[in-house]
Structure 1
Amino acid sequence: MNTVERHKKIIDKINQEGQVKSQVLCDELDVSSVTIRKDLKFLEEKGMLYRMHGGATLNNPYATDRHVSEKEKMNLSEKMMIGSAAAKLVTANDSILIASGTTVLALAKSIKPLENLTVITSALNVALELNKHLEIEVIQLAGILRKRSSSVTGMYAEGNLHDFSCTKLFLGVDGIDLEFGLTTANVMEARLNREMIKVSQKTIVLADSSKFGKRGFGRICGFDNIDEIITDSKISNFTKSELEEFGIKVTIV
């Protein structure tokens, strides 16, 4: 097999599967890892794939810190379905924690007023949405306001959390990578998210399928800290199976 034929095989495989592992390519094409690294580097320079640790992917694996007004227009129908499914997990007498993000905002819009529901949140837009309901007590965390996300971060917000014990955390993320874990584009937000996990009995991640295979700058945690992920039907069977291997419940809407 010459170089052109090998490159075609690589492109065909990545178009079919979305991402490929270097070792799999070595085995299937019967070439060395050095040859595959050169192939992937060449194809990346041609704009045909993105290299990542241990292989390559069809989509850009790096999440950017977009403004909330831009993010809320992306995958809107998927986010609303995810938010609606997550809202069904909220029960009377719950004390829940809602992080920041446009998918968790969709959750806030779907929550029906329940008796003795307390919501703690870092997100101003979530707080304002839930404050419309007299039946919901809203606690807004203090901290440094991030204009790009309309949410707070920093030591004041982290310190506030030490006074609470929550039944559930609903967490939005910018990236879910099977090797690197859960990430967000802002490192201060990632740190606050880790503190949220510590004070919650159960962590539920709300993420549309575009978040899989991506990495943000700030790592939140690995998969051992996550109980459930709610996503849409575009998630691959491979990714779903891998997440379930970690003991995570994957709910598809």
Structure 2
Amino acid sequence: MKARRLQDIEEYVHSHKSVTLDELCQKFEVSKNTIRRDINQIVRKGAVEKVYGGVTSATELIPFENRGSKHSSEKSIIARLAASCIEENDLIFIDSGTTTQHMAEHLPANISFTILTNSLDIINGASELPLVNLLVIGNTYKHKTKSFVGIDEPRMLDKYNVNKAFMAATGISTTHGLTNSDLLEYEIKKVIAKKAETLLLLADPSKFGKSTLLTYAPLENVDMIISSEPLPDPFQLFCESHGIEVKIP
């Protein structure tokens, strides 16, 4: 499937930093014309850059298992601010991600609400709270991201009236919106982002100005951005012009 090949190509370029077109042709067993078309599509996302005879990584993508320790204190602050937005009787979605997973430490224990999630950390945290109703989605466990991914039928999510969705993103761009690089996670993110009454984006400063292969929601659809410090000027201006609330400490 082309979308899967594009994702694999992007991840291969990021892991090797710089590769030739001939190397990509050999690796993915396609013609040079096909690789050129694929690379042009990925380049438009801002994820890689063309160089003479090949391509190079345009953004530092850190493996998920190493992201938790990077910007850890910022992620915890963001997660605490996000958890403070939870109210009695809410039906919320908490996304998988190294920032959203910190919400497990800050979930309110004294009110009743429902969590829909595919994050193992959130599942473990919520299971300790007797007033929380816990709903799990995703049919395949992915060790790398500690999340459940894949849904047999996207319409199965239609039965849930999610009033607040706490979302993560690998990269955030005013042009490409909220992006991630995993096709299976993308399907869940896209459905939830479109369905939720209120879309809250949790993002540390390292995420802004970057984009990856898959856009699951345009930035203008976000209702609130929760971060650990003031946003870069282009993003602050974008939020002001689109009525997006910014919540910082």
The structural deviation recorded for 1:184 is 0.8
Residue in structure 2 matching 1:91, options 76, 87, 90: 87
TM-score (norm 2): 0.72
Is it true that 1:154 corresponds to 2:150 in the alignment?
yes
Give the count of matched residue pairs. Answer: 197
Alignment match, 2:118: 122
Query: Which whole-Å CA distance do the structure 2 matches of 1:189 and 1:122 have between them?
Result: 9
Task: Tell me the amino acid that sits aligned with residue 244 of structure 2.
Answer: I
SS in 1 for 2:162: coil
Alignment match, 2:247: 251
SS in 2 for 1:78: helix
Structure 2 gaps, min length 5: 1-46, 51-56
Alignment match, 1:173: 169
Task: Tell me the amino acid that sits aligned with residue 173 of structure 1.
Answer: A
- Kindly name which structure, 1 or 2, has the bigger radius of gyration based on alpha carbons: 1
Change in 2 beyond 3 A, CA 1:63/1:177 = farther
The structural deviation recorded for 1:170 is 0.2
| Percent of residue pairs identical | 24
TM-score (norm 1): 0.71
Preserved contact between residue 124 and residue 140 of structure 1 (Cα < 8 Å): no
The structural deviation recorded for 1:65 is 6.3
Preserved contact between residue 228 and residue 249 of structure 1 (Cα < 8 Å): yes
Alignment match, 1:136: 132
Structure 1 gaps, min length 5: 1-49, 54-59
The structural deviation recorded for 1:223 is 1.9
Preserved contact between residue 138 and residue 151 of structure 2 (Cα < 8 Å): no
Query: Which whole-Å CA distance do the structure 1 matches of 2:191 and 2:60 have between them?
Result: 22
Alignment match, 2:61: 64
SS in 2 for 1:74: coil
Query: Which whole-Å CA distance do the structure 2 matches of 1:85 and 1:157 have between them?
Result: 33
Query: Which whole-Å CA distance do the structure 1 matches of 2:152 and 2:62 have between them?
Result: 22
RMSD: 2.2
Is it true that 1:195 corresponds to 2:195 in the alignment?
no
Residue in structure 2 matching 1:77, options 73, 76, 79: 73
Change in 2 beyond 3 A, CA 1:228/1:157 = farther
